Amino acid sequence: MGRAPLTVGTLFQSAWLFWAIAAVIGLGTGPAVAKAACPVQYEQLTAALKASVKASGGPGNGGFDTHEWAAVVARDGSVCAVAFSGPTPDAQWPGSRLIAAEKANTANGMSVKQMAISTANLYAGVQPGNPLFGLELTNPVNIVAAYRGDPAAFGTKNDPLVGQPIGGIVVFGGGLALYDANGIVGGLGVSGDSSCADHNIAWRLRGALGLDKVPAGVNPKSKDAIIYDIGPNGKSASGWGHPKCAGSEADVAAELGAGVGGSMRQ
């Protein structure tokens, strides 16, 4: 019998199977110790997140204005802080905890010292027929890390994700690389609203943390800002575009300097 052809689907299934077996035999379930320095403290992240989300007393971001999850990865890709803005873990979408961590991983993993790429910048490139098609399958989620630990600790200083590499690639708004005066130090991801609002919240949050010293990006003027330039034909003029969402997210982005195009105010 001939050997079955290797496809993206079989690669994904193989990666999933690896992590499933790892979960059974206990691979990767040792003590969680981050190898790289975390660019923020848990308390800083929590306070800045609450101040950036309308539901917890902050400004509106143009979307649903719901509570949010936020996650930070160190430069080595290990999760080092996870927080939420609401009074309890289920006050924001439960599924957004992992999405936030994967957004942070994506922005960190796709950015370097001299140039940042946000998760919003990846949307157009991964569409069928475009140069980054299939990118989402290149770094599978670490299932062992994703589903380990006590759910009662989710979003606390002792969140089970802390110290673990999460993996995953997300290709819509809400993930930004973090830069101090010396260069890139990790990634930030937020989730729990529309993808466009998540980008605005991440932009506010990064600024509040003082980790917005971005040197350059795919847009010369606004660096790793979200780019609203997808036309009626579904094509992005720049190749780095993101669809508009249903609310006033593009207007808020224009006010923040977090977005290019798409706003009635531009």
Least confident of 29-33, 71-75, 176-180, 242-246: 29-33
Distance CA 107, CA 119 (A): 6
Does the pLDDT of residue 40 top 80, yes or no? yes
Q: Which amino acid is at 100?
A: A
| pLDDT bracket for residue 36 (50, 70, 90) | confident
As a whole number, the mean pLDDT across the chain is: 90
Rg of the chain, C-alpha, whole Å = 18
Nearest to 73, CA basis, from 169, 153, 199: 169
Mean pLDDT of 54-73: 98
| pLDDT value for 28 | 46
Domain ranges of the chain: 34-215
- Residue-wise pLDDT for 228-251, tens only, equals 999 999 999 999 999 999 999 999
Write down the CATH superfamily of domain 34-215.
Answer: Haem-degrading domain (3.30.450.150)
Secondary structure (DSSP) of 99-159: HHHHHHHHHHHT-BTTBB--GGGGTGGGSTTSTTTTGGGSS---HHHHT-S-GGGTTSTT-
| pLDDT value for 263 | 72
| pLDDT value for 15 | 53
Nearest to 68, CA basis, from 80, 78, 58: 58
Does the pLDDT of residue 266 top 70, yes or no? no
Distance CA 33, CA 248 (A): 41
Mean pLDDT of 55-78: 98
Residue with tokens 């308390």: 43
| pLDDT value for 264 | 59
Does the pLDDT of residue 16 top 80, yes or no? no
- Residue-wise pLDDT for 196-226, tens only, equals 999 999 999 999 999 999 999 999 889 999 9
- Residue-wise pLDDT for 158-194, tens only, equals 999 999 999 999 999 999 999 999 999 999 999 999 9
